Structure 1
Amino acid sequence: MTDLNNPPVVSRRDWLTAIDALRVREKAHTREGDAIAAARRRLPMTEVDPSAPLVSGEGRVPLIDVFAGRAQLFVSYHMWHDGHSAADQCEGCTFFTGQVRELSYLHQRDVTFAVFCQGPYEESERYRRFMGWDLPWYSVPAESHERLLADRHFGMKACYLREGDRVFETYWTTGRGVEPMAPSYGILDMTVRGRQETWEDSPAGWPQPFETLGQQFRKDGRPTAQWARITAGHDDDLHGEEPGTGTGASGCCCS
């Protein structure tokens, strides 16, 4: 093997020795993650208006109803570009939202998952259906923005606790803090090439074709995940017009 872009080849014994050395660091990283999660569980919380209205397929509903009778709620705040084509919707939010599929394990632990979209319900719901996402989906009307976001922005994730008829926010994060929603990243981090993004510390000559202003989630002018839906014949028209190819919005807050 002569490709300079590959790791050196060693005996299996030497390979296992190198992995064992790295495993010590991996275990320390896992234990630190456990400690951070323990500290997160001990954070104080702040009260949120339980009547803040949202829009669903059944019309307007208050925040407290989104819990669906459970004690906890995890919300993914999905960015939206009003009036734009499906191809021009937020590539970062599409990347993260699309990887949340099986909700039964959350429900088993008394947690409801929901998407709160910045866009109007009818338009954004058509996007949800085009993407094939089977997730509780709500639109956040303007009157609820400040009540829920409190000077933050869509793209964030937030956790809530319900006690009777009161609702409390217990945690929120954004940026790279939302990466637990994306198992693709965890898988890529275990491969020799990694995420292939320009910020990564990789050996010289490693392929890093992906910029990190949204380009890492796009392919040929639309969010990468949309291509499988287009190939399968699903309609991406959000506005009752002919589907467009879009030009690719950049600078998504999720990236």
Structure 2
Amino acid sequence: MTAMPNTVDRATFQAELDKLRTREKAHTRESDAIAAARRRLPMVEMDPTTPLVGPNGPTTLLDAFEGRKQLIVYYFMWYPGRPAPEQCEGCTWNNTQVTELSYVHSRDITYAVFCQGPYEESARYHQFMDWKMPWYSARDSLDTLLAGRQINLMHLICYVRDGDRVFETYWTNYRGVEAVDFNYTLMDLTVYGRQEPWEDSPAGWPQGVVDGTRVDGRPTAQWSRLAAGRSDDLGNTGGEPPAARSTGCCH
């Protein structure tokens, strides 16, 4: 049997929860303070003409703003020439959760994905997954856009523009990209958490989920697309062997 918490009366339960709530509220206030510090960071100017490839062909970093003041970019890991089941499970997990963009649009913010692979095959993946967010290839501009950061690693980068001038204001990677992930946030509220081996959990708690972003050899969200009859043919073959893949998609 799976281990369970101790059973107590309602008053005892509420007393323990109240103690935890004090810590939760302190965490919320600290998160607000960190966000305030983030808003006070300096920024670095970018070349607004940095080339991208989008659905209508060559375009630029400035164009990716879609006329809005701010831009949030998810840098999607990509393995050129590999089939859909071998593409990044972490990036797939994260971006499957990005559905309704009207809320960020209402604050004059565009959310877009800059794939780190070629446009044609990655755009087929975007279509297969039935994602609606803007999708570009940044493959030929990664040295400029990621400037000293690891290529083919998931990144979230924020930009602001002043007319035709573009500035980078913030970036994060690894678990920082959980900003777009509500599933882990919900799991963290439950008694068993994410059920992953690294978590600090009581003895007997289930922790057997080693790769929770894949099921039966595919990124988890691909299965519902296949069941709906969508094609996962990316029009590619060969490419980088799986053994040579980076592990940078891990949370």
Once the two structures are superposed, residues 147-192 of structure 1 have per-residue CA deviations (whole angstroms, 9 ceiling, x without a partner) of: 1010213311100010011100000000111112100010000011
SS at match of 2:212: helix
Distance in 1, matches of 2:2 and 2:179, equals: 33
Superposed, 1:206-221 pairs within 5 Å as: 206-211=205-210, 215-221=211-217
Aligned to 2:146: 149
Aligned to 1:230: 226
Shift of 1:4: 6.1
Change (3 A) 1:122 1:4: closer
Distance in 2, matches of 1:4 and 1:156, equals: 37
4+ residue runs over 3 A deviation: 246-252
8 Å CA contact 1:91–1:252 kept in 2: the answer is no
Please point out which of 90, 93, 96 is paired with 1:92: 90
Change (3 A) 1:120 1:240: closer
8 Å CA contact 1:72–1:110 kept in 2: the answer is yes
Once the two structures are superposed, residues 15-48 of structure 1 have per-residue CA deviations (whole angstroms, 9 ceiling, x without a partner) of: 1111111000000000000000000000000011
Superposed, 1:35-184 pairs within 5 Å as: 35-142=33-140, 144-152=141-149, 153=151, 154-184=153-183
Distance in 1, matches of 2:217 and 2:235, equals: 19
Q: Is 1:239 equivalent to 2:238 in the alignment? A: no
8 Å CA contact 1:221–1:247 kept in 2: the answer is no
Distance in 2, matches of 1:145 and 1:56, equals: 15
Distance in 2, matches of 1:240 and 1:251, equals: 20
Where structure 2 has 5 or more consecutive residues not aligned to the other structure, the ranges are none
Please point out which of 225, 235, 253 is paired with 2:248: 253
SS at match of 1:35: helix
8 Å CA contact 2:115–2:139 kept in 1: the answer is no
Aligned to 2:11: 13
SS at match of 2:161: strand
Aligned to 2:198: 199
RMSD of aligned residue pairs (Cα, Å)? 1.7
Shift of 1:248: 9.5
8 Å CA contact 2:82–2:236 kept in 1: the answer is no
8 Å CA contact 1:50–1:64 kept in 2: the answer is yes
The two structures have a TM-score, normalised by structure 1, of 0.92
SS at match of 2:67: coil
Q: Percent identity?
A: 57
